[in-house]
């Protein structure tokens, strides 16, 4: 059985926020909302959970710091020790103040690059992926809310959407 969604188009972000709140009060499931710009508080109004990307960013930074320490210890102490500017070359701890910029840079490098890869994988943004935007006007000046419906609650949801200030309503099958 194919699922059906109602696509409600709004002309203002404040009207959209009020509509989201009224739809969530009635316990209907909002599939997705498409907006031309970020709407402050929309994630909270939709009831979306907090992201865990900050935790992964921290872990990626720890990986970068570990790689930096292991790399510098192997290259500068074990593999090819050199006397540069009179610094001792036999102990990592004695040389660590000179290595701090490298540790910082690799920490940031790993965190930034792995976060971009994680974001694209999590968002399912693959190279050459076709856009999933159901209405091109949502990239300009319209807001679209998709609500999943069935035969039983279609009429109720449609009435609720009209009362919330939608300018257009369409029924689509997924």
Residue-averaged pLDDT of the chain: 89
What CATH number has the domain bearing residue 148? Answer: 3.30.70.120
Distance CA 100, CA 108 (A): 12
pLDDT in tens, 95-146: 888 889 999 999 999 999 999 999 889 888 888 888 888 888 998 999 999 9
What one-character-per-residue DSSP string does 120-156 give?
HHHHT--TTPPP--S-GGGGTT-EEEEEEE-TTTHHH
- For residue 151, the model assigns a pLDDT of 81
Is it the case that residue 71 has pLDDT exceeding 80? Answer: yes
Q: What is the mean pLDDT of residues 31-39?
A: 93
Tens of pLDDT, residues 45-56: 998 898 888 999
Supply 144's token pair. Answer: 């679209």
Q: Please check whether residue 42 lies inside any domain of the structure.
A: no
Regarding predicted confidence, which is higher, 60 or 90?
60
Q: What is the pTM of this model?
A: 0.71
Is 134 within a domain? no
Q: Would you say residue 153 lies in a domain?
A: yes
Task: Please classify residue 50 by burial: count the beta carbons closer than 10 Å to its beta carbon, then call 0-12 exposed, 13-18 middle and 19+ buried.
Answer: exposed
Strand partners, 5: 148, 172
Interatomic CA distance for residues 57 and 131, integer angstroms: 27
Rounded distance between C-alpha atoms, residue 135 and residue 170, angstroms: 11
Number of folded domains in the chain?
2
Q: What is the DSSP string of 4-37?
A: EEEEEEES-HHHHHHHHHHHHHTTPPEEEEE-SS
Q: Which domain holds residue 25?
A: 4-36+141-173
Residues 61, 119: one domain?
A: yes
Is the domain of 18 the same as that of 60? Answer: no
Share of the chain above pLDDT 90, in %: 51
Q: Which pLDDT score is estimated for 1?
A: 46
Check whether 162 has a pLDDT greater than 50. yes
Query: Cα angle at 84 between 110 and 88, to 5 degrees?
Result: 90
CA distance 103 to 18: 48
């Amino acid at each position: 059985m194919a699922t059906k969604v109602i696509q409600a188009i709004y002309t203002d972000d404040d009207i959209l926020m009020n509509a989201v709140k009224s739809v969530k009060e009635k316990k209907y499931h909002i599939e997705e909302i498409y907006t031309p710009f970020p709407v402050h508080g929309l994630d909270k109004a939709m009831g979306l959970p907090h992201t865990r990307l900050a935790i992964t960013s921290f872990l990626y930074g720890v990986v970068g710091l570990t790689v930096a320490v292991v790399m510098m210890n192997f290259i500068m102490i074990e593999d090819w020790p050199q006397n540069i500017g009179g610094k001792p070359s036999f102990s990592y701890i004695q040389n660590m103040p000179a290595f701090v910029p490298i540790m910082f840079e690799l920490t940031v490098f790993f965190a930034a690059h792995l976060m971009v890869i994680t974001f694209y994988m999590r968002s399912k943004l693959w190279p050459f992926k076709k856009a999933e935007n159901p209405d091109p006007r949502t990239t300009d000046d319209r807001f679209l809310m998709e609500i999943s419906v069935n035969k039983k609650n279609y009429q109720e949801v449609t009435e609720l959407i009209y009362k919330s200030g939608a300018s257009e309503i369409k029924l689509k099958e997924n």
